[in-house]
Structures are given as structure tokens and as C-alpha cells.
Structure 1
Amino acid sequence: MTNNTTLAMLDQPELQQLAINASTAGDSASAIAYLKEAVSRADATAIAHYLLGAEYAQIQMYPRAIGEMEAAIALDPALSIARLQLGLLWLGANDNARAADVLQPLTELADTQALHHFGAGLLHLIREEKAEAVCSLNAGVALNTAIPPLNLDMQKIVQQLEQDLPAANDAPQAAPAATDDGQHILLSAYTGLRH
């Protein structure tokens, strides 16, 4: 990490690339410092807010991650990956209504886009339509070549849902607990934790 004078000389793309490099190297502190500099400027971009939100989520500072993802979407409502990540964060925070509002525009994307299917799958999950959620999430995984780590997150959700499907069919009285389980699934997948 460099001093403040050097940071002031860097432009948005440079700050973002340095942050990505630091994050890739496991240096969250430097990545966050670069990104905080980037978002503090008048020319702050939606991508800078998104990257800062992703860093905060990585270190489990979820309220800050939510704030940065919201700032990213405010600057660029079409930044679909930020919309998906924000939806996952709201689901992890057990706020299904906000998650649904954020995820709904993803279903308006072309059905040839993975984020369309991921958004639809998570909306099915919110409505406790587990079989439909599995189908949509699997379709998204099949289409997604741009962000492989996202496939891993979605596959974790699918695996948990598939484990729950037979139990849901055998024991319909267990349905009320599914909402809490769904939140647990999403938070575990998002944070990469195994519970």
C-alpha cells in the first residue's frame, strides 16, 4: 500500500486494478483502502462501490457490503452482478421483501443470461418453490462462464435444496421451517461457510 500522495495521483481504473490485485493476493486491508479512495471521489463508479461491497462481504461486514452494493445500483441500475449480490445479502439478512425487490429486475434480462436464471431461482426460493428454484439455478450454472465462483455458490444452494426436497415431499408439516433453512443456505453459500 502506498501513501496518500501517491493514491491521489491514481485514477479510477488504476485504483480498481490495484484493489483487485490486492484482493487476489489476500490483502483485504489494501484492497479496501484502494476502494475507499476510489469511492470517496466525485468520479466514483458503480464498479468501485460493487468491488468495495464484495470486499466487505468477504470479511463478513455485511451491513457495509449492503450499503456499497446499494450505492453501486444507485449509480448503475443495470449492474446486474451487484443486484444479484445485494439480493443474496438481503436474503442472508432474512429480509425476503427487500431481496425480492432487488432481484426482480434480473428476471427481465434475456433468458440466455445466467443472471436471469439466478435471479429467478432465488425468487422461487423466496416463495418456497424449491423444485423451480433448483431448475432455475441449474440453468444459470449451465450458462455462467463469466464468474465461475458464482457457480460454486449457486451449486451449494442447489445441493441443499435437493437434500431438502425429499424431506419436504415426505413431511409437508415441516414447510414453515423452510424459510429459516433457506436463509441459512444462502448465507452459507454467500460467505463460503459450511454449517
Structure 2
Amino acid sequence: MNNATLSILDQTELFQLALNASSGGDSASTIAYLKEAVSRSDASANAHYLLGAEYAQIKLYARAIDEMEAALALDPALGTARLQLAMLWLGQNENERAAATLRPLEELGEQEALHHFGAGLLRLIGGDSAGAIASLERGIGLNLAVPPLNGDMQRIIAQVQAMSQAEAAGEGAAPEEGGQHILLSAYAGNQSN
């Protein structure tokens, strides 16, 4: 694919080709299609969001944060971008930014998975491990729209439980893998969008 080919594609075509490339594990093509899409004046929030998710997959977290923020600037109601941006902020130990990003999810109804995922992460920030786990599990039970988020939340629950068991056994908190924050480690484990 060259620049001339990319330039004749419209937003819908670029986005669909990016989805196809992403589902095939082709990060380079996914990023190329999405970078073209977001460079245009008619860029969509979803294109920024998917580019941010792709950057997170390849561990370019600063770029992922920038794209998630761009997605939310275009569409503040894009809840999955909001949740994933908060997870990225938490991975950077930016708890206040993460909490501010998550708070709008509280406005969603009790039957919305994102409401419970946001509440769970806010409880985790506040040090309420049991409450966090309960909220995350409730969100998993409700989430049918974005199944990969369930895997992220299950990894967070497993890590919180492991840390709680280590603390109960008097071992203190388990060391974070490679210095990564618990949430970033769980988020980075997600291999699908």
C-alpha cells in the first residue's frame, strides 16, 4: 500500500481495512490505515480510538493516551475509550487523571457494564479491593458489547486477588511485573480490540 492508494480511500474504507488488518494481527497495516484516517479533517472518534488501542497493543503508551484523548475530544460519550484511557493513566501512576477520566461513567445506568467497570477502577484507586472486585464482576456479567474488556477486567481481578492473598499471608504486595502498574499490565495483556 502506498500513499497514492491511501489517498483515494474514504473514512469508511480506511476504518474497515484497519479493522480487517487488526483482526489479522497486522499492526503495521492497521496503523497505516488509521494514521491516514486521523490525519484528515473528517477524522472520527472511532478511528482515533482504534489507533490508540493499536498503540497500546504494541506498548506505545504515550501515543495511545494521545489518541484516546483525541477520541474523547471528538466524542466524550465514547465509553470504551474513556475506560481504556483511564487504564492507561493508571498504568502511568496518574491516579487523579484516571479518576477524572472515569467519573463520567458514573452517569451511565446501573445496567451498563461500563458504569460498573468505571466504579470498580475508582474503588481500586481508593484502596477498596473487595468493592473493586465486586464492581468489576458485575460489569463482566453485564458486558456483551465489548467481550475483550471482560478479559482485561478478569486479569485485573486476578491480580488484585493475588496481591490481597500475598498481603494476607504477610508477604506484602507482590512485586509488579517489570515495574508495570497492575492495570497497565492487565491492559497490555489484551490482544484484541
Native 8 Å contact 2:52 2:64 kept in 1: yes
The amino acid of 2:183's aligned partner reads L
Q: Deviations over 1:39-96 (max 9, x none)?
A: 0000011001001101100110000000000000011100000000100000111110
Distance 1:166 1:14 in 2: 49
Aligned match of 1:71: 70
Q: Does 1:186 align with 2:190?
A: no
The amino acid of 1:165's aligned partner reads S
Distance 1:29 1:80 in 2: 26
Secondary structure at 1:188 match in 2: helix
Higher mean C-alpha deviation, range 126-135 or range 159-168: 159-168
Secondary structure at 2:98 match in 1: helix
Distance 2:101 2:139 in 1: 18
- 5+ residue gaps, structure 1: none
The amino acid of 1:192's aligned partner reads G
Aligned match of 2:43: 44
1:150: how far off?
1.1
The amino acid of 2:144's aligned partner reads T
1:184: how far off?
2.7
Native 8 Å contact 1:153 1:190 kept in 2: yes
1:166: how far off?
4.1
The amino acid of 1:68's aligned partner reads E
Aligned match of 2:58: 59
Native 8 Å contact 2:91 2:183 kept in 1: yes
Aligned match of 2:6: 7
1:170: how far off?
6.1
Aligned match of 1:146: 145
1:14: how far off?
0.8
Native 8 Å contact 1:57 1:191 kept in 2: yes
Distance 1:83 1:146 in 2: 15
Secondary structure at 1:48 match in 2: helix
1:127: how far off?
0.6
Aligned match of 1:115: 114
Native 8 Å contact 2:106 2:119 kept in 1: yes
Distance 1:59 1:163 in 2: 26
Secondary structure at 2:181 match in 1: helix
| Superposition map of 1:79-118 within 5 A | 79-118=78-117
Aligned match of 1:160: 159
Q: Deviations over 1:1-33 (max 9, x none)?
A: x22222112111110110011111111111101
In angstroms, what is the RMSD of aligned CA positions? Answer: 2.0
1:164: how far off?
2.8
Distance 1:162 1:61 in 2: 28
Distance 1:30 1:158 in 2: 33
- 5+ residue gaps, structure 2: none
Number of residue-to-residue matches in the alignment? 188
